[in-house]
Amino acid sequence: MRNISSRIKHIFVMVDEITGDENGVNLLHEISKFFRQFTEEYGFNYKIIVADASIVNPDVINQHFSSTVSEPNKIFFRQNFSKNLPLSIENFTFKKKPVTIINSNAYPAKILKITYELFIKSIEFHEELYLQKNKPLKEAVQK
């Protein structure tokens, strides 16, 4: 990590359609937990970008991301009393951290271009370890 932090200080992680998977919130929490362990010691500045049409305001974010309990796939609907601007920005606090919501309500995604570099770390799958780590989740869901 020391070698990486000498070259890279800013890390952006983007997760798309997080509400479309029952373990999406848990994935988000694990990504955040992973980077938090290196932030202080190595000086990383990490940002997690969540791209999801269902995540549109602080109420939905607080409702959906506060708990890591596995939930079925869902789409959030809320009545919106404000005028839908093509692009809006809203700042608020979530889990004592500043958060920015950027809504692109009318932006044609077919012309949106994002350039990024992909870094993949592969790990060997061990079924016993997998079953052991999923046991608390299975017990929580079966309650």
The 10s digit of each residue's pLDDT in 103-124 is: 776 656 666 677 777 777 777 7
SS3 95: coil
What is the pLDDT, as a whole number, of residue 2? 80
* CA–CA gap between residue 6 and residue 28 (Å, rounded): 26
Question: In the numeric block, which tokens belong to residue 81?
Answer: 């009393």
pLDDT at 97 over 80: yes
Token look-up 């890279």 returns 8
**Residue 110 CB: number of other CB atoms within 10 A?**
5
pLDDT bracket for residue 71 (50, 70, 90): low
37 versus 112: which is more confidently predicted? 37
pLDDT bracket for residue 24 (50, 70, 90): confident
**Residue 64 CB: number of other CB atoms within 10 A?**
20
**Residue 65 CB: number of other CB atoms within 10 A?**
19
Query: pTM of the full predicted structure?
Result: 0.58
What is the pLDDT, as a whole number, of residue 74? 59
Cβ-contact 57, 90 below 8 angstroms = yes
